[in-house]
Amino acid sequence: MFAEQFANVRTKSPLIHNITNYVTVNDCANMVLACGASPIMADDAAEVEDITTICGGLNINIGTLNSRTIESMLKAGRKANALGHPVVLDPVGAGASALRTGTAYRLLDEVRFTVIRGNISEVKTLASGAGTTKGVDADVADRVTEENLDGAVAFAKAFAAKTGAVVAITGAIDIVADGAKAYCIRNGHPMMSAITGTGCQLSALTAAFITANPGQPLEAAAAAVCAMGLAGEIAHARLTPLDGNATYRNYIIDAIYHMTPAQLEEGAKYEVR
């Protein structure tokens, strides 16, 4: 069913304001272009309201937050709320430092998010104020598996209901949920975790999808998650024996560039719980 959501991205080509980290920002910009949308990166407090105003959606990623950009995130988020623009939060490393955790809480308090996308550890930190983070990956002990999937789905729905946001928890199995309904997605490839920033890229992609599909944040976010995972599969199938994580990074963006709505429709592997 995700052909329509993707087709809307290609047709409408929304302009997305990204306040994101300097580690993966180039890949995020190329990913947004690959899906047919347009990116603009701007993080100074003196201009974020102007930039958000001319955009259709906002993506906030705290991966390399600092005292200057935290204020920019808050200002941009409030402005986007005032304008009715969709907003994505990527709480990179929440739980890894008091600054990250505290900033994520402050963002949740002061900004209404349309989608919150993180790994299970980050989302647990947001939800509970507890948790540990190993870099920006989920703790092994907290990995979503077939065995604990029902519990994780219930958790995602509960956090979605509490925040009013669609919650996307990504990992080996992805969960995209609102308070009532969850998509469990089995696209992707384990090698994606050997690339820096596939999560960041997905958050930027999600911002494009939800902006092009107003009123359908759950389906649009699930479509973006499926598209990213499917791109990981397509890109992996291209790898020759000497290709490693750097080439794989390029091929994933390439796969989004060439992906058609019909290809996404056919390749998306999900169930509703």
Residue positions forming the annotated binding site for substrate: 41, 197
Binding residue positions for ATP: 117, 170
* 261 binds its own copies per the rule CB under 8 A: no
Residue 265 sits in the site that holds its own copies (CB under 8 A): no
H helical segments located in 164-243 = 198-212, 217-238
- Tell me if 4 sits within 8 A of 209, measured CB to CB: no
Binding of its own copies at residue 4 (CB under 8 A)? no
| Residue span 96-115 as binding mask against its own copies, x where in contact by CB under 8 A, dash where not | xxxxx---------------
How would you label 158-181 residue by residue, b for 16+ Cβ within 10 Å and e otherwise? ebbeebebbbbbbbebbbbbbbeb
- Taking CB under 8 A as the rule, does residue 263 contact its own copies? no
Considering the complex, state which of residue 34 and residue 115 has its C-beta at the smaller distance from its own copies.
Answer: 34
How many Cα atoms occupy the beta-carbon half-sphere of 185 within 13 Å? 30
How far apart are alpha carbons 207 and 177 in whole angstroms?
Answer: 16
Rounded Cα gap, residues 233 and 226, in angstroms: 10
In the structure encoding, which two tokens stand for residue 228, read together?
């990213």
Q: Quick check: 180 binds its own copies (CB under 8 A)?
A: no
Residue matched to tokens 């047709």 = 11
By the rule CB under 8 A, 152 interacts with its own copies? no
User: What is the total count of residues that contact its own copies (CB under 8 A)?
Assistant: 65
Among 3, 40, 161, 172, binds its own copies (CB under 8 A): 40
Q: Which residues bind its own copies (CB under 8 A)?
A: 15, 21-27, 29-30, 33-34, 38-44, 46-47, 50-51, 54, 63-68, 93, 96-100, 132-137, 194-197, 234, 238, 241-247, 249-258
